[in-house]
Amino acid sequence: DSHMYYKSSFYPEVSRTWKEYWLDLTKDPESHTVLPGAHRKMATIYVTFDFPFYGHIVNNVTIATGGFLYMGDYLQDYLNALAAKQYAAPLLADFDTMSNPNSSIRYKDNGTALTVQWDQVVIHKRTDLGSFTFQLILKNTGDVLFVYKDVPVNIRDINDNKHPVRVGLYDAYTIEKTLFYEYSTGEEYEDAYTVDPDRHMKSFNGTDIGITNPTEDSHMYYNSSFYPEVSGTWKEYWLDLKKDPESHTVLPGAHRKTATIYVTFDFPFYGHIVNNVTIATGGFLYMGDYLQDYLNALAAKQYAAPLLADFDTMSNPNSSIRYKDNGTALTVHWDQVVMHKRTDLGSFTFQLILKNTGEVLFVYKDVPVNITDISDDKHPVRVGLYDAYIIEKTLFSIITDDELLTLSNILLYLDEKNPFATPLISLQGKTRSGSQEDLARQPLFGPQTASEAVVSGTSRLIKDLYDNYSPEVNNNEQVTQQHLNEEEAFFQAVLATEPMKRVVALLQSRGLLPTNNRNLESILRTLWFERFSRSRGSLGSSGFEHIFLGEVKNAEPSGFHSWLYFKQQEEVGSLDYLGFIRSAKLSGKASLLELPLKWKGMYKPVNSMFVGTSPELEMALYTLCFYARPEAKCPMNGNSVKFFIQTYPFKSRGKVYLGTAYPTFR
């Protein structure tokens, strides 16, 4: 995987690669022990070399019992460090060193590398899960290594209700609580990573302020400027959404809830494009792709926070959260929100504005108290932009090969009840890739299936789509309302089927798809049906068209992985079956076939497709593999025949589409 600062490589345990890096600190007399008999505690140490972390130098790190190093300059309690500023986490979880007498945390700095070892640590109050042993290594080159010796359970079995569980590198561009302070000497802010909140500062309570000049700060991606209330600058940016009939209300009467919306423009956030944002009652926008619950979003992945605090819209009848997207800017307005169970602090009104230029504006109308008076014991309180390079929990909880093999076999068995009779196919001559010799005098599909009525469910609805597309990818698709209606009818029918329901439920259980139905449908609709450009900027392709029909680019056919369309094209005389390369029976009704073909005079040397399967089964399996094994072979099983599905994403305009998907024997 790759990122602006880091490239990651994963080596499975069976490769034994971990032994090359493992340094057993329990046997090293030069190592040091920290945090004995502790839970949710931290210890800061000095690093003897300059360690580059997200483009800035770190010399102090804070070791936490919870399986991570806090990399920031602000020293704070464990829970606030968790709420995600800057850390490196080989396995962040609720570990302690008090429940197991053999537990320890040790470190060694040899001048060019720092090694930290969590040895036989256990999950607090869950010693039954066993002990975990792993290391983190920071090298002076900037390399970060996570090395695992003992991980006794799949980490998806670790409860994250009271403590996040994740793996990865996190960095935050943060304007700490000190946003509302200024040095009494009038000097500018230091770098956001090194501001010392204990220096002599002047308080800003929202109305009484002595700052007369804006201050500035800089970062790899963002330059920040702060304008005090007395400057009146906020009025230039304020858009009162309460009076705007084109704005939309979200999260009424809510606490610790989120709502995801689509942004109509491409918003660049830390160098990557964002098109979906999640509005939270707690005064922030979650900017990440993984949709999850409020508390996990808090535990700091990617967000923009004008004022992150424990707000609700239920304690004050005048509270509201509204948003408006005008095509070039998104404005989100928290109006008269109050602190949960602290209405005595007054109501807060502020806005966040995202511009298509990448600018982020925080605008404050009413901040009734100094935010240092807001307790952060149970909920973090902060202001700023945060981005995380994250290896999500799904690194360890991805769907296993055994699960894929089992589910595919079950779905193929269940699909035997589809409305088709067992297809009568005539394989005829066996050929090879690259041969255009016609070794099949007859069509692939025999006469009984050539006239088979496609009468019910998705099999009828998919036939309605065949004349909606132009196969030439260089041409813009001519989309009518009737086309959209037919697509939607087919899409909704597929979602309602048992194969798709089972696949979606599994992907949702692993955090790979959202649980909110509206968000789910939006993602899958984009994945399968939204038009994108494969050539010359023309919106001439979609995942569905490529896979379930076929496309032409530079006089060469591509896609064409549906047996129903293959049969239909044989019937109208547009397709010539030349023979088969390989075939296998996957169930009482389904087969997998590899073959060359000639379509409208154009030759495709190797093509593959299921035969006898329903459209919903095929879409379900392709969707499953797109998320479970993106850009990799996805193992499948049918009737004890092992095969694979290969998928590839197509990224364009900040979105991810299904570029192609097909079954294969290899």
> Is the pLDDT score of 300 beyond 60?
no
Give percent of the chain with pLDDT exceeding 70: 80
Predicted local distance difference test score (pLDDT) of residue 453: 44
Q: Which of 33-37, 332-336, 554-558 has the highest mean pLDDT?
A: 332-336
Number of other residues whose CB lies within 10 A of the CB of residue 505: 11
Of 629, 567, 574, give the one whose Cα is nearest residue 593.
567
Q: How far, in Å, CA of 666 to CA of 663, rounded?
A: 9
What is the Rg, in whole angstroms, of the alpha carbon atoms belonging to the chain? 29
What lies within 8 Å, CB to CB, of 281 at 6+ separation is: 251, 254, 255, 256, 257, 258, 294, 311, 312, 313, 321, 337
* pTM, entire model: 0.47
For the chain, the domains span 13-164, 215-394, 400-664
Pick the residue with more confidence: 203 or 421?
421
Q: Which of 561, 598, 642, 655 is catalytic?
A: 561
163 is catalytic: no
> Is the pLDDT score of 164 beyond 50?
yes
Of 340, 338, 334, 332, give the one whose Cα is nearest residue 368.
338
- Which pLDDT band, with edges at 50, 70 and 90, does 6 fall under? low
What 3-state class would DSSP assign to 589?
Answer: coil
Pick the residue with more confidence: 84 or 28?
28
Predicted local distance difference test score (pLDDT) of residue 421: 66
Mean pLDDT of the chain: 81
> Is the pLDDT score of 84 beyond 50?
no
- Which pLDDT band, with edges at 50, 70 and 90, does 207 fall under? very low
> Is the pLDDT score of 135 beyond 50?
yes
Predicted local distance difference test score (pLDDT) of residue 623: 96
Q: Would you state the structure tokens that stand for residue 240, as one six-digit string?
A: 């009162």
**Beta strands across the sheet bearing 272-280:** 42-53, 56-64, 68-70, 87-92, 166-175, 382-391, 303-308, 284-286, 272-280, 258-269
> Is the pLDDT score of 266 beyond 70?
yes
* For residues 570-580, average pLDDT: 92
The per-residue DSSP string of 35-56 comes to -TT-BS-EEEEEEEEEEEETTE
Pick the residue with more confidence: 256 or 15?
256
> Is the pLDDT score of 224 beyond 90?
no
Using CA atoms, how far residue 365 sits from 166, 229, 243, 306, 458, in Å, is 37, 9, 15, 12, 53
561 is catalytic: yes
User: How far from the centroid of its chain's Cα atoms is residue 197's Cα?
Assistant: 34
According to DSSP, residue 437 is labeled -
What 3-state class would DSSP assign to 455?
Answer: coil
- Which pLDDT band, with edges at 50, 70 and 90, does 162 fall under? confident
Predicted local distance difference test score (pLDDT) of residue 202: 24
Give percent of the chain with pLDDT exceeding 90: 45
Number of other residues whose CB lies within 10 A of the CB of residue 467: 8
Q: Which of 49-63, 455-469, 485-499 has the highest mean pLDDT?
A: 485-499
Predicted local distance difference test score (pLDDT) of residue 7: 59
Q: Which of 340, 379, 546, 567 is catalytic?
A: 546
* For residues 403-423, average pLDDT: 85
* For residues 145-169, average pLDDT: 84
Amino acid identity for residue 290 in this structure: Y
Give the H or E element holding residue 317. Answer: none
- Which pLDDT band, with edges at 50, 70 and 90, does 176 fall under? very low
Q: Which of 604, 633, 651, 655 is catalytic?
A: 604
* For residues 580-598, average pLDDT: 93
Q: What is the pLDDT of residues 384-401, one digit of tens each?
A: 887 654 333 333 336 788
Lowest-confidence region among 68-82, 500-514, 537-551, 652-666: 68-82
Lowest-confidence region among 127-136, 168-177, 266-275: 168-177
